[in-house]
Amino acid sequence: MRVHILSVAQQEVEEASDYYEQQRDGLGHRFILEFEKTLLAIQAFPGLGTKLEENCRRRRFKKFPYGIVFRVHQGAIVVLAVMHLRRMPGYWKDRLGEIEE
């Protein structure tokens, strides 16, 4: 299944990776690897993950307090957010308009 990552979600990945890299050398790279691993799991099993509103789901990272918020739309997985799990849980909802028909 195709994956489309909204630019704001990609920016969240980069910002989190930069933060972790500042904390310890190599940790930012590990964050990126965990993001990619989680994305592959979503591609393999898009029906898994916590159900959210608006037909969205969240799949958690295993080693970082982050999750990928996504929605299957027109045969593609659309990544709306890469969110820290302890901050503003619904902030991504305004991004739904970016994938509506």
Q: Has residue 91 got a pLDDT over 80?
A: no
Give the tens place of pLDDT for each residue, 22-49: 999 999 999 999 999 999 999 999 999 9
Task: State pLDDT tens for residues 52-61.
Answer: 988 899 999 9
Is the pTM above the cut of 0.85?
A: yes
Q: Which residues make Cβ contacts (< 8 Å) with residue 69, sequence separation at least 6?
A: 52, 56, 57, 58, 79, 80, 81, 82, 83, 92
